[in-house]
Amino acid sequence: MSYVNNIRMFVRVYDLGSMSAAARDQRTSPAVASARISELEKHLGVRLFNRTTRSLQPTENGRIFYDGARRVLEAIDDAEAAVMDVTQNPRGTIFVAAPLGVGRRFIAPHVPAFKDHYPLIDVRLRLSDRIIDVVAEGIDVAFHLGLLDDSTLKVKTIADCPRLLCAAPAYIARRGMPEDGTALVRDKHDCLNLRFPGAKEFQWALATPEGPRRFEITGPFESDDGDVLTGWALDGRGIVLKPLFEVADHLRAGRLVPVATATPPLPTQLSSLSQHRRLKDPKVRLFTDYMATRIRDELRRATEGA
């Protein structure tokens, strides 16, 4: 398997563009990653990457070898999945990605029980509110909160998620209650934005009597962590746009109240994304189905009475 492991390391270095990033991805050291690439280059008799202290670029031979290497790994993964499907003994590692709020509330709490059910499957969970490149980052299944454009990935809708605008009573007492999106903009309300590197200019899509409309909101604070925004809202610092499940407890307790209810946010969806061939892997199917059932139950309990 050492040759296969060398090929796998090469593909991850190529995808991530970094020896150290690939090493972290494969849970090893940069020195081991470099040694595997050197061993592969020695076997092939060609240089696969041009290395300097500041950059790493694939050579022409590296680009040619990459396409074949990916096909080899896919064939191996498919063969292993077929055997596991026949033996009903799924094993291996699943790489999972999810937004912070979804991952903390609905995925992470159920991972240990999943492991108890399937002791030969290991789970590597990565939580981030940034956009995940499922293919480039080697993710088996990603949970996505939001409406999706056309995707080359296999998309399975788990649940519809209503959203709302809300703020702390202290903020409303200081700035007044905005009735709709127009008031948010006109009165320059402090809106708490979810932003991350590479994000497009942020707008809030709200439902108006004339149909959906985007409002260009402003505010003094922004973060790439949705829970940070909730904390700021609870502190009376502004208005936040949130899935109902994330703020239901605060609404029931009166710590947050709905605002601009005449133009509510458009609802969103919680989905799972996988590469088509990855979903054939029995361990990926098992994990996706297991989590989808529990997420639906959790969502129902979280939003009852909110």
Residues 260 and 282 in one domain: no
Residue 56 has φ and ψ, to the nearest 5°, of: -140, 120
Residues 54 and 102 in one domain: no
Top-confidence residue, 266 or 27: 266
Residues 262 and 173 in one domain: yes
Residues 99 and 145 in one domain: yes
Residue 279 has φ and ψ, to the nearest 5°, of: -70, -15
Residues 290 and 232 in one domain: no
pLDDT at 82 over 80: no
The residue to which tokens 């609404």 are assigned: 251
Q: What is the pLDDT of residue 85?
A: 56
Number of domains the chain is built from: 3
Top-confidence residue, 15 or 255: 255
Domain termination residue (choose one: 85, 114, 137): 85
Top-confidence residue, 258 or 138: 258
Residues 152 and 176 in one domain: no
Q: What is the pLDDT of residue 259?
A: 97
pLDDT at 227 over 80: yes
Arithmetic mean of pLDDT, 150-162: 83
Q: Given CA atoms 167, 169, 173, 179 in this order, what sign does their dihedral have?
A: positive
Top-confidence residue, 270 or 79: 270
CA–CA distance, 29 with 26 (Å, rounded to integer): 9
CATH number assigned to the domain comprising residue 297 = 3.40.190.10
Arithmetic mean of pLDDT, 82-88: 57
Domain termination residue (choose one: 85, 105, 127): 85
Residues 137 and 173 in one domain: no
Q: What is the pLDDT of residues 170-182, one digit of tens each?
A: 999 999 999 999 9
pLDDT at 63 over 60: yes
The answer to whether 145 and 155 have CB atoms below 8 angstroms apart is no
- CA contacts within 13 A on the Cβ side of 54: 0
Residues 15 and 77 in one domain: yes
Residues 168 and 155 in one domain: no
Domain termination residue (choose one: 26, 54, 85): 85
Residues 101 and 219 in one domain: no
The residue segments making up the domain with residue 72 are: 2-85
pLDDT at 199 over 70: no
Arithmetic mean of pLDDT, 71-80: 78
Q: What is the pLDDT of residue 86?
A: 45
Residues 140 and 223 in one domain: no
Residues 252 and 276 in one domain: no
Predicted TM-score (pTM) of the model is 0.66
Q: What is the pLDDT of residue 150?
A: 57
